[in-house]
Every structure is written in structure tokens, then in C-alpha cells.
Structure 1
Amino acid sequence: MTTFVDRVELHAAAGNGGHGCASVHREKFTPLGGPDGGNGGRGGDVILVVEQAVTTLLDYHHSPHRKATNGQPGAGDNRSGKDGQDLVLPVPDGTVVLDKDGNVLADLVGQGTVFVAGQGGRGGLGNRALASARRKAPGFALLGEPGESRDIVLELKTVADVALVGYPSAGKSSLISVLSAAKPKIADYPFTTLVPNLGVVTAGSTVYTIADVPGLIPGASQGKGLGLEFLRHVERCSVLVHVLDTATLESERDPVSDLDVIEAELKQYGGLEDRPRIVVLNKIDIPDGKDLAEMIRPDLEARGYQVFEASAVARTGLKELSFALAGIIAEARAAKPLDETTRIVIRPKAVDDAGFTVKLDEEGIYRVRGEKPERWVRQTDFNNDEAVGYLADRLNRLGVETELLKAGAKSGDGVAIGTDENSVVFDWEPSMTAGAEMLGRRGEDHRLEAPRPAATRRRDREAERDEAQQEYDDFKPF
């Protein structure tokens, strides 16, 4: 059964915004006292948060579809709808967020780091919020916006200072078990380690983390064996440690050729050329291993490597190795900028962005694209003529009609607002005043005029009675 997952595809759906309410205030003697529809609630966000206690993406492997709750609709008496609840998803330290095209959206490092994977939809405005001096009693409200839905990829890159690399059964797990308190699986057959193991080492005043990567073999950078799956876990390390088996039973292998093969795979993978290297000649507790280590050590030092002879079984050479690693890590930490942790990619809009574009597509339709017009279309109830007129007013004020004229649009041409899959298409009529002039005194319902004073209403009733009495007297028989 799978217990460690370091790459998943997550389908995140934020909550939809609640619809605004179109309502009229009613009370005794004032049955139509003005608009009082409340706003809809905001939809919940989908938020990724780094939690140190989480070490794998296994939960999202089993349940990749996650959705936040929707906002509630507004109600009469100026009551706004309840906001949707945010969905907080814990992820391991070192999680990289990518889109489906492989572009990095965020690199989450550090406890509590937050990234909003899906933005909740805005709640629609009620008719109370839409009322103005020109539009005293709107007979419509705005719809809530749908929440953002995204397919993202989560990749875990272990946050470790030291990465142990080498052939299967070279003794990496044994080394990490004696250098730290980690208890990885250890056996005398290849590919014993199927997941990266992480341990904490204390050397003097320096505390650092060390990880062993499942055994690499020739062709690992192209996906052979387990190397391609786990090479990403060495990307964040400050130092690479080559663990070479000096007591291998395979006649066609030797420590120097093993080192060359692993270096070739790391070069093919890329991005690790600047990391310092240390070589550990392991298993010197075996007589043949000790002799071979002494034989090849001068050659490795001539290449510029710092070489240590060690035995995880006999626990020899470990103190010197741990303090040497601590020195390299301390230097790397001192050279690293303090703010070089989380990286969230932000793509701001151009300063001169007009807010929308108008282009003629292959089908002869003028397509309007832009955040504002597309959002306004989503908020419009097209079953309400007054709401459609309000949309026309907004588009006209934004300058859409002017841009359509500049683009060469003529009467009767098709105009679409939105994407190809989800757009509103209509026949355009140029030089047509939108909104209030099309619908008359839109939003000024005569039934909702301010009530007259009681004395005026009484005089009017008395006048109506006197007029009726006069008519009766004029036509009564003699």
C-alpha cells in the first residue's frame, strides 16, 4: 500500500458567491418603502498552508477533488448572505505548486506559508446597494460570481541540507541511521529504500537535516529505476554526499566508476552543478573494502573531492564526516539571503491595460475579452430586462461601444463577451443609447415614491368626497 506520495494533481474549486436579493421594504401604511435587498456572501477560498507535521501528499492522492463552500444569497430587510467557509489544505514543507503546463505558481517553504489555490467568487450586490440618485428603486440584483476552479500539480521537494546519493545498497540508509535518530529500512538487497528518509544531525552548535535518496542507477535521469521520481528531493540541498560502496560484490563495478555514473546522471538532470561534493568511502569495516578505499583515495583527492572513510556498522569516521558537513552547511547558510524562502510568482497586469480588448475572430464575430466585462456578464440575470439595461450602461461607460466602432463593427454584427466556451453573443446596434433611455425611467418605479403626509392624504380624501357629492347633487332627480 502506498504510504509516500510526492507528486499529485489537485482539482481545486473555490466556492461560488451568493446571489444578491431584489426586495422591497414593506410595513403598515408603507407597503412599498424602497429597496432593501441584501448582498450575497463571498465564496470560500481554497488555501494551501505549510504544516511541518505533514510529510507526504498522500491525502490528495486518494482525494484529489477539493471544493470550498458557497456563499449564501442575500435576503430582504438589508440582510447580507453568510460568506462561504475557506478550505484550508495542509501541505508539506517544500511543496512546489505548478499549473498543468508546468509553470511554477508558488514554492512553499517554511511553517505557515500560505498560497491561495482558488479564489472564491464575489457575492452579488442586492438592489439596496445598487440604488442611487438616478436609480432609486432597482428591480434587480446582481448574481454571485462562480468560484475559481483550477487543476494544479503539487510536487514535494524535500527540504534537507545534505543529500546522500549513490548506487542501491551503497549504505546510505545505514549512514543516516547512525548519524541521526532516523530509522529507515535496511536490508542486503537493492532498492530497499523506496522513499526518501530524513534525519536531523547535531554537530557542535550546528543542527542540520540529512536525506538519503533511493538508489540511482544508469539512466535514472531519463526515468530508469527510481531516480527520476526522487532526484527532485536533492534540489534544495546545500551539499551532495557520494556514498561509494568499497565492498561491492559485482565484478563489473568499482567505486570510481560508480562516482562517474552518478555524476553523469546528476549532470543530465541539471541544476546541481554548483553544489559542493563530498565522497564517503563506505564499508571499510570489511578488509577488502578498507584496502580498496586506501587505494582509490589519492585518485579521488586528486580530482578535488574531500574524501572520508567510514563504516556505518563499526561507526568509524562518522564524527569527522558530521563536523565537515556542518562546516559546509554553516557557510552556505551565511551566504544565503535571509528572505530566500518562499517564492510566489505574481504576474501583474500592464500599467496601461485598458481593461478589455476587442478582436475580430475567424467566424466574423467581434469578441470582447477583459476581466471587467466578463465579470459583469457573469453577474447579470438575463431574464430581467432592467438588469440587462444596467449591463449595457456599464459596458457603454467602460468604452466597449467606442472600441467596437474603431474595430469596424457595423449594425447587425455579432458581438461576443467572454471565452469561446462560455460567452454571451448578441447582435450589435451602434450609436444606440443604452440603459435608462432604452427602458424608460429605469429603476424609478412610481409605486415606490415617498409617501405623502397624513394631512395631505386627508385633504385629498375630503376633496374626493366633496366632488362626488357635487356630482350627485347635479344629477339627482327633482
Structure 2
Amino acid sequence: MTTFVDRVELHVAAGSGGHGCASVHREKFKPLGGPDGGNGGRGGDVTLVVDQSVTTLLDYHHSPHRKATSGRPGEGGNRSGKDGQDLVLPVPDGTVVQDLDGNVIADLVGHGTTYVAAEGGRGGLGNAALSSARRKAPGFALLGVPGGTQDIVLELKTVADVALVGYPSAGKSSLISVLSAAKPKIADYPFTTLVPNLGVVTAGSTVYTIADVPGLIPGASQGKGLGLEFLRHVERCEVLVHVLDTATLESDRDPVSDLDMIEEELKQYGGGLDRRPRMVVLNKIDVPDGKDLAEMVRPDLEARGYQVFAISAVAHTGLKELSFALAELVAASRAAKPQEEATRIVIRPKAVDDAGFTVVREDDGLYRVRGEKPERWIRQTDFSNDEAVGYLADRLSRLGVEAALMKAGASSGDGVAIGPEENAVVFDWEPTVLAGAEMLGRRGEDHRFEPPRPAAQRRRDKQAERDESDKEFDDFNPF
């Protein structure tokens, strides 16, 4: 049964915004109390958060589809809809977020680091919020914006100070079990360790973490023996420790050739692994032949510039010296790191000639409008409501879309699309769109809310209507 997963494909969807409400206040003796439709609630975000208590991506392997809740629609009586609940997904420290093409989107290192993977949609405005001195009783409301969606790949790279690397069965798991409180699986056959194990070591005043990386074999940098998955967990480690088996039963292996092979794989993998501080540990000197071999190869390794320690993880020989030497390397590596600068807020104002949208004429003669505002307004419009369509036309005109279309060469009857190809609204363009013009008065107005006319004015208006009707009858009557 799978208990550790370090790479998953995750499909996230934020909540959609709730629709606004179009309502008119009703009360006894107040038949036209004015608009009182509330706004829709905001959709919930999907956020990844680093949690130190999480060590695997197993939960997302079993449930790769995650969705936040949507906002509730607004109601009459100026009651706004409830916001959707944000969905917080805990991930291990060292999780890398990538798109499906392998491009890195975010690198989540450090407890509490967050990344919003999908943003919730805006709630639609109700007709109470849309009312103004010019638009006293809107008969429409804005729709909620759909929540964002994203397909991402989560890849875990172990965060540790020290990584133990070497052939399978070299004694890495035994070593981490005696240096720290980690309890990895230990057995006398290769590839006992299939997942990284982390332990915490205290040496004097220095506390550092150590990782037991599964065994590497020739060709690991090309993926042989799950080498790429194992090497991934070495990338973030600052110090590498070669654990060499001095008591191997394989006749074609020895500590020096094992070291050369691992070094070559680190170099082929890249990422600067071949330039990390490193030391060599000759393990299993409790075996007589192993001790003799360690004494034989030690001068050669020291001549190459390596700091060499001969130990026995089983007999607990040489462990104290090793732990303090590792602490010195870790402390030096930490001191050499550049200090992180305080977070700076960078303000990038828009260019003075940035209209917020673009108009492009495509090969088939279609004019496509792209921009955050026009595309959002399209999604918020109820096209079954003529007044809402007229309101959209007014907004686009004020933004300058109509002027930009005329400048691009569009003429009456040309096709215009707003939005991307897969989700666009296409219509035949008419300059100064008059959608909703069949309503009395200007768009968004209601003549019933005009102040009452004086009695004398009403009599004059009625007489004018009768005179106009008589004139039309006279013009029609041939006799």
C-alpha cells in the first residue's frame, strides 16, 4: 500500500461568485419603494499552505480534484449573499508548484508560505448597488463571476541540511537511526529504503536535519532505479555525505569506485550537486575485512581533498566525531548563505496609454477584444435581460471599446468577439448599440420614479396627445 507520494497532479477549482438580486422593496402604502436587491457572495479561493506536520502528498494522490465552495446569491431586502469558504490545502515544506508543461509557478519553502492556486469569483452586484441618480430603479442585477480553475503538478523536494547518499545497503538508514530519533526500515537487502527519511541531530549548540536518501545505482541521473525521484530530494540539501560500504560482498565494487560512480551521477543530474560541501563516511568497520579496507583506501580519499570518517553504525563507533564535523560544515554553509532581504513592495503603475484592453482583427475578419474588464463584464451580464445588455453596452462604450473598434476599421455588421476563443461572446457590431432602447426613458431608468407633474401640465399633455391623435386620423382619412 502506498504511504509516501512526492509527485501528484492536482486539479483545483475556486468557488463561483453568487448572482446579484434584482428586487423592488414592497411595503404597505409604498408600492414603489425602490430597488433593494442584495449583492452576491464572493467565491472561495483554493490556497496551498506549507504545514510542517505534513510530510507527503498522499492525500492529493487519492483525491486529486479539489473545489472551494461558491458564494450565495443576494436576496431582497438588501441582504447580501454569504461568501464561499476558502479551501486551504496543506502541503509539505519544499513543495514545488508547476504547470503541466513543467514550468515552475511557485516554490513553497518555509512554514506558513502560501500560494493561491485558484482565485474565487466576484459576487454580482444587486440592483440596489447599481442604482444611482440617473438609474433610479434598475430592473437587472449582475451575475457572479465563475471561479478560476487550474491544473497543477505538486513535486516534493526534501528540505534538509545534510543528505546521506550512496549505494543501496551501504548503511545510510542505520546511520540516521543512530544519529537521530528517526526509525527507518532497516534490512539486509537492497532498496530497503524507498522514501526519504528525515532526522534531527543536535551536536553542541548546532541543530541540523539529516535526510536518508534511497540508494543510487549507475544510471540514476537518467532515471534508472527511480534515480530521478531519489535525486530530487538531494537538491535542497546543503551538505552531502557519501556513505561507502567497506564490507560489500560484490567482488566488482570497492569504496573508491562507488564514490566515483555517485559523483558522476550527481554531476550528470546537475543543479550544482557536484559543487556542494561533502565528506566521506567509511561504514561497517566493525567487520574485520571492512576495517582493513577502510584503512587501505583512506589515504587515497584524503588525497582527493575529502574529509574522511571511519565508523560503524552498528557498533556506534566514530559517531560523535562525525556528528560534530557535520555540525561545523552545516554552520559554515549557513554562514555563507546571503541573508534574505526584507520583503519589498513593488508598485508598478500602468502606462498612461494602457487602455486595459486590446482589439485585434483576425484573419477571418473577426474583431477580437481581450482585456480583464471587458471579459469580466461579459460574464456578469444576463443576456436575456435587455436592460442588462444596454448597461453592458454603456460600460464598453465608456471604457473606449467602441472607439477602438472604429479605429481598427470595424464597420456596422462586422463580427466582434469578446474573450478567448474557447469562451467568447460573438455578436454583430452596431456603433452606439441601442440594446434595451425599447424601454421608456434612458437605459436603466424607470419613468414611474420621475417626480409627479403638476395638474395643469398633465392636462396640457393629455390635450397634446388628443390633438396628435386627431391629426393622425385626419391624415389617414381620405374623405
User: Please, what TM-score do these two structures have when normalized by structure 1?
Assistant: 0.90
Which amino acid counterpart does residue 172 of structure 2 have in structure 1?
K
In the alignment, is the contact (CA less than 8 A) between 1:34 and 1:137 conserved in 2? yes
In the alignment, is the contact (CA less than 8 A) between 2:69 and 2:84 conserved in 1? yes
- Measured after TM superposition, the shift of residue 31 of structure 1 is 0.7
Residue 166 (str. 1) matches residue 166 (str. 2): yes
Q: Partner of 1:229 in structure 2?
A: 229
Q: Partner of 1:476 in structure 2?
A: none
State the Cα deviation string for residues 7-58 of structure 1 (Å, max 9, x = none): 1111111100000001111111111111111100000111111111111110
Structure 1 residues 416 and 152: CA distance shift in structure 2, 3 A: same
Q: Secondary structure at the match of 2:17?
A: coil
- Measured after TM superposition, the shift of residue 338 of structure 1 is 4.3
Q: Partner of 2:358 in structure 1?
A: 357
Alpha-carbon distance in 2 for matches of 1:303, 1:219: 24
Q: Partner of 2:461 in structure 1?
A: none
In the alignment, is the contact (CA less than 8 A) between 1:393 and 1:435 conserved in 2? no
Alpha-carbon distance in 1 for matches of 2:175, 2:80: 61
Alpha-carbon distance in 2 for matches of 1:55, 1:186: 20
Which amino acid counterpart does residue 248 of structure 1 have in structure 2?
T
Q: Partner of 1:209 in structure 2?
A: 209
Alpha-carbon distance in 2 for matches of 1:209, 1:349: 44
Q: Partner of 2:327 in structure 1?
A: 326
Q: Secondary structure at the match of 1:381?
A: coil
Which amino acid counterpart does residue 311 of structure 2 have in structure 1?
A
In the alignment, is the contact (CA less than 8 A) between 2:175 and 2:313 conserved in 1? yes
- Measured after TM superposition, the shift of residue 350 of structure 1 is 6.4
- Measured after TM superposition, the shift of residue 223 of structure 1 is 1.0
Alpha-carbon distance in 2 for matches of 1:386, 1:436: 5
Q: Partner of 1:471 in structure 2?
A: none
Which amino acid counterpart does residue 247 of structure 2 have in structure 1?
A
Give runs of aligned pairs for residues 25-104 of structure 1, distance below 5 A.
25-104=25-104
Q: Partner of 1:11 in structure 2?
A: 11
Alpha-carbon distance in 1 for matches of 2:347, 2:214: 37
Q: Secondary structure at the match of 1:273?
A: helix
Alpha-carbon distance in 1 for matches of 2:422, 2:433: 29
State the Cα deviation string for residues 46-81 of structure 1 (Å, max 9, x = none): 111111111111000000101111100001111100
Structure 2: gaps of 5 or more residues: 459-479
Give runs of aligned pairs for residues 73-472 of structure 1, distance below 5 A.
73-271=73-271, 272-339=273-340, 351=351, 353-430=354-431, 432=432, 440-449=441-450
Alpha-carbon distance in 2 for matches of 1:371, 1:83: 22
In the alignment, is the contact (CA less than 8 A) between 1:110 and 1:341 conserved in 2? no
Alpha-carbon distance in 1 for matches of 2:176, 2:95: 23
Structure 1 residues 145 and 348: CA distance shift in structure 2, 3 A: farther
Which amino acid counterpart does residue 276 of structure 2 have in structure 1?
R
Alpha-carbon distance in 2 for matches of 1:349, 1:364: 34
Structure 1 residues 300 and 446: CA distance shift in structure 2, 3 A: same
Alpha-carbon distance in 1 for matches of 2:260, 2:349: 48
- Measured after TM superposition, the shift of residue 429 of structure 1 is 2.0
In the alignment, is the contact (CA less than 8 A) between 1:33 and 1:450 conserved in 2? no
In the alignment, is the contact (CA less than 8 A) between 1:39 and 1:81 conserved in 2? yes
Q: Secondary structure at the match of 2:323?
A: helix
In the alignment, is the contact (CA less than 8 A) between 1:109 and 1:341 conserved in 2? no
Residue 22 (str. 1) matches residue 50 (str. 2): no
Q: RMSD in angstroms over aligned alpha carbons? A: 2.3
Structure 1: gaps of 5 or more residues: 461-478
Alpha-carbon distance in 2 for matches of 1:259, 1:361: 60
Structure 1 residues 406 and 184: CA distance shift in structure 2, 3 A: same
Alpha-carbon distance in 2 for matches of 1:222, 1:341: 39
Alpha-carbon distance in 2 for matches of 1:341, 1:277: 31
State the Cα deviation string for residues 75-126 of structure 1 (Å, max 9, x = none): 1111100000111111111111112222222211222222211110000000
- Measured after TM superposition, the shift of residue 248 of structure 1 is 1.0
Alpha-carbon distance in 1 for matches of 2:339, 2:387: 56
Alpha-carbon distance in 2 for matches of 1:99, 1:354: 30
In the alignment, is the contact (CA less than 8 A) between 2:386 and 2:435 conserved in 1? no
Structure 1 residues 85 and 106: CA distance shift in structure 2, 3 A: same
- Measured after TM superposition, the shift of residue 340 of structure 1 is 7.6
Alpha-carbon distance in 1 for matches of 2:451, 2:21: 22
Alpha-carbon distance in 2 for matches of 1:105, 1:281: 41
Alpha-carbon distance in 2 for matches of 1:341, 1:446: 59
- Measured after TM superposition, the shift of residue 268 of structure 1 is 1.4
Alpha-carbon distance in 2 for matches of 1:364, 1:46: 39
Which amino acid counterpart does residue 401 of structure 1 have in structure 2?
E
Q: Secondary structure at the match of 2:324?
A: helix
User: Please, what TM-score do these two structures have when normalized by structure 2?
Assistant: 0.90
State the Cα deviation string for residues 252-284 of structure 1 (Å, max 9, x = none): 111111111111111111112331111111111
Alpha-carbon distance in 1 for matches of 2:452, 2:306: 93
In the alignment, is the contact (CA less than 8 A) between 1:138 and 1:444 conserved in 2? yes
Q: Partner of 1:469 in structure 2?
A: none
Alpha-carbon distance in 2 for matches of 1:399, 1:230: 56
In the alignment, is the contact (CA less than 8 A) between 1:215 and 1:226 conserved in 2? no
- Measured after TM superposition, the shift of residue 174 of structure 1 is 0.7
Alpha-carbon distance in 2 for matches of 1:138, 1:288: 92
Alpha-carbon distance in 2 for matches of 1:347, 1:98: 26
In the alignment, is the contact (CA less than 8 A) between 1:33 and 1:448 conserved in 2? no
- Measured after TM superposition, the shift of residue 406 of structure 1 is 2.2
Aligned residues: 452
Structure 1 residues 229 and 348: CA distance shift in structure 2, 3 A: farther
- Measured after TM superposition, the shift of residue 443 of structure 1 is 1.9
Alpha-carbon distance in 2 for matches of 1:206, 1:450: 81
Q: Partner of 1:475 in structure 2?
A: none
